[in-house]
Structure 1
Amino acid sequence: MRTTEDKPLTRVTDSLPALAGAALAVSAVGAVLAFADLASPLRAPFTLFFLLVAPGCAVASGLRGLDPLGRLVASAAGAVALNLLVAQVMLATHVWSIKGAVAAVAVISVLLLLLTLARRPGGSTARRRTT
């Protein structure tokens, strides 16, 4: 039996996939605007959103053991650290470009995500098996 207290939590958890899809769309638009070099007022905020969300999600996928708030803080710090590392390396080697930075962050984020998936080939069910 559901009570009226369950409805707000249910609404929030039901809207999480929609929010994740919207974040993915905004991130993709930011990356496309940065690569296409279009003069749009949305280019800077959407690209910044991509530069924070892509590595943040990749780092968060590897931190499944933390509580949600700790995972959020650690993934945000990891995203900022990754962006600073990419910028520092590109500036030190004199190859700085916005397109290159976005591409480097995207590639590193995908590699981190693939590393997390490769580390757990069986997913969460492999850990629950008992012998």
Structure 2
Amino acid sequence: MQTLSDRQHSTRGTVWPLLAGAAAGIGGLGAVLALTGSASPLRAPFTLFFLLAAPAAAIAAVLTGPDPLSRWVIAVAGAIAVDVLVAQSMLALRLWSARGGIAVVAGLSAVLFLYATLRRRREHTAARSRIL
């Protein structure tokens, strides 16, 4: 028989994927609203969320050593650093535009996610070959 604490524990594990999906949706919507130049009142907060969440999630995916809290603190600090360095570089090269900055941050985040995915796949393949 399932007790109340068992049900709470089982639902706690299903909340994280839901929150991750909602965060990805909000971030993606923020990027789309900013890239299309929409006049929506949600444009600014969703875009700011994208500019912090996308690089932070990508950096956290690359980091494997630290414990989860340290990983997220490092990832948020890294996301702020990525945003500042992208803006500074684009301003120095006289290429600054809000759309361009968002596109560059999205591209860097995608590259970091791709690197993390390829590294995990390579580690999984190497571990599998050791077993066989």
What amino acid is aligned across from residue 20 of structure 2 in structure 1?
Answer: A
Deviation at 1:32, TM superposition (A): 0.5
What amino acid is aligned across from residue 7 of structure 2 in structure 1?
Answer: K
Structure 1 pair 7–120 and aligned structure 2 pair: CA distance change class (3 A): same
Which aligned runs of 4 or more in structure 1 are off by greater than 6 angstroms? none
What amino acid is aligned across from residue 17 of structure 2 in structure 1?
Answer: P
Name the residue aligned to 1:68: 68
Alignment partners' CA distance in 2, 1:60 and 1:89: 23
Alignment partners' CA distance in 1, 2:35 and 2:56: 20
Which one has the bigger helix percentage?
2
Name the residue aligned to 1:119: 119
Name the residue aligned to 2:26: 26
Alignment partners' CA distance in 2, 1:27 and 1:78: 17
Name the residue aligned to 1:54: 54
Name the residue aligned to 1:100: 100
Deviation at 1:130, TM superposition (A): 4.9
Per-residue deviation, residues 59-105 of structure 1 (Å, max 9, x unmatched): 01111232111111111111111001101101111211100000000
Q: State how many pairs are aligned.
A: 131
Alignment partners' CA distance in 1, 2:7 and 2:65: 28
Name the residue aligned to 1:78: 78
Secondary structure at the aligned position of 1:120 is classed as: helix
Q: Which moved more, 1:24-33 or 1:65-74?
A: 65-74
Deviation at 1:115, TM superposition (A): 1.6
RMSD: 2.0
Secondary structure at the aligned position of 2:122 is classed as: coil
Structure 1 pair 89–23 and aligned structure 2 pair: CA distance change class (3 A): same
Deviation at 1:116, TM superposition (A): 1.8
Deviation at 1:123, TM superposition (A): 4.6
Alignment partners' CA distance in 2, 1:95 and 1:71: 32
Structure 1 pair 3–71 and aligned structure 2 pair: CA distance change class (3 A): farther
Per-residue deviation, residues 20-42 of structure 1 (Å, max 9, x unmatched): 11111111110100000011110
Deviation at 1:3, TM superposition (A): 4.6
Q: TM-score, normalised by structure 1?
A: 0.88
What amino acid is aligned across from residue 18 of structure 1 in structure 2?
Answer: L
